[in-house]
Amino acid sequence: MTPKEMDQAYVLPTYARNYVHFVRGENSMLFDADGKDYVDFGSGIAVCSVGHANPRLAEAICDQARKLIHTSNLYLIEPQARLAKRLAELSGYDVRTFFANSGAEANEGAIKIARRYGEVDGEVKRYKIITLEHSFHGRTITALKATGQEAMHTYFGPFPDGFVYARDIDHIYNLIDDHTVAVMIELVQGEGGVQPMDRDAVQKLAKELKKRDILLIVDEVQTGIYRTGEVLASNLYEITPDIVTLAKGLGGGVPIGAIMTTHKEILKAGDHGSTFGGNFLSTRAGLEVLDILETHKESGELDHMMLLFEERLRQIAAKHTDLFEKEVGVGFMRGLRVKEGLNASDIIDAAFKERVVVLKAGKNTVRFLPVLTITKKEMTLGFERFEAALASL
């Protein structure tokens, strides 16, 4: 049996897979089994923050694997404690962190913290969480319900109660009632179509919620770990959320999730847990990723490359007004909005034929999530191929 045949016979078909057979990578480049190279402008959906096969990350993972991978959370885990400290220091927030294994799981934990906050003397007083239309918070039953997209609520019911959806930031105020305990938002909606929230509106919301004792949860599963240029998008927006969730880029490909909260005493022993969450391997990977990216940011290279990338996308949008409405996004979370009546998938398929990997977001956005350590040479090659793909349409 070929690997493709095995996949088709034995793996549940929950993904519309492209059967390209990648076997190795090098920073922004991927190589398939036939030795063909691809420029990866998707980084495994914003996961491979320090590039494919980053030698420092590989060495840290190997070194840790040779010593200890896992002991459970019953015992002290030094890299976990160090990673929690680093996240607090780098973000500048006075927080403690719980470690999970994925974005959905981090959001589940954040929702539990909010629900706990709404309890008074063991009784549920406030439980409602307002999220945004076009949001995406993950695939567990509760994270699906938190996701403000009706299409996500078709099957798998009954869902937990207590979620309401606002059209936009301004509409949130209309939905607040005596049962509201939290508002959960992405600062740049990723899956929803690379849609940044307005900075002033977010700052006003953060202030207003604080006044009303309603928690602000920022889902930074995609925006976090320098994806928007700062360690957290919340830093970029200059707000201090009550809870921030992380995953994707934090482990550079090793599964990890995190819930940072300023409510440092809200959970007690036994309130929440995870067998794997925050084990030696994933938190050591997280520490190495943060070290690499902090240096990259301080050198000016991250901001420099983000500007160049944005400029190229703007040029492409301006040149191909027949295909694109505009360029959208922040930092290395970027998109090209495809014109009404055209199909973003056709552009993505054409790009793939030219061996550049781009993604789809929402209904009509071609999405770019390059590795954060992308080089100028890789970027130039990727856009050369992307332009060739556009010319072929």
Nearest CA-CA partner of 277 in 138, 108, 145, 44? 108
Query: Least distance (Å) from ligand PLP to the CB of residue 226?
Result: 16
Nearest residue (CB) to ligand PLP, 93 versus 136 = 136
Q: Do 192 and 201 form a contact (C-beta atoms < 8 A)?
A: no
Produce one character per residue of 309-319: b if its CB has 16 or more CB atoms within 10 Å, e if not. Answer: bbebbeebbee
Query: Least distance (Å) from ligand PLP to the CB of residue 16?
Result: 16
**CA 360, CA 99: separation in Å to the nearest integer?**
29
CA of 136: how far to CAs of 240, 242, 281, in Å?
Answer: 21, 19, 28
Query: Least distance (Å) from ligand PLP to the CB of residue 102?
Result: 4
Nearest residue (CB) to ligand PLP, 136 versus 324 = 136
Nearest residue (CB) to ligand PLP, 15 versus 75 = 15
Nearest residue (CB) to ligand PLP, 98 versus 136 = 136
SS3 98: strand
Query: Least distance (Å) from ligand PLP to the CB of residue 123?
Result: 30
Q: Do 223 and 46 form a contact (C-beta atoms < 8 A)?
A: no
**CA 265, CA 258: separation in Å to the nearest integer?**
16
Nearest residue (CB) to ligand PLP, 232 versus 317 = 232
Catalog residues that contact ligand PLP under the rule CB under 6 A: 102-104, 107, 136-138, 186, 190-191, 219, 221-222, 247
Residue nearest ligand PLP by beta-carbon distance: 103
Q: Which residues pair with 338 in a beta bridge?
A: 324
Nearest residue (CB) to ligand PLP, 181 versus 221 = 221
Q: Which residues pair with 259 in a beta bridge?
A: 98, 245
Query: Least distance (Å) from ligand PLP to the CB of residue 331?
Result: 15
**CA 384, CA 378: separation in Å to the nearest integer?**
10
Report which residue type is found at 262: T
Query: Least distance (Å) from ligand PLP to the CB of residue 258?
Result: 11
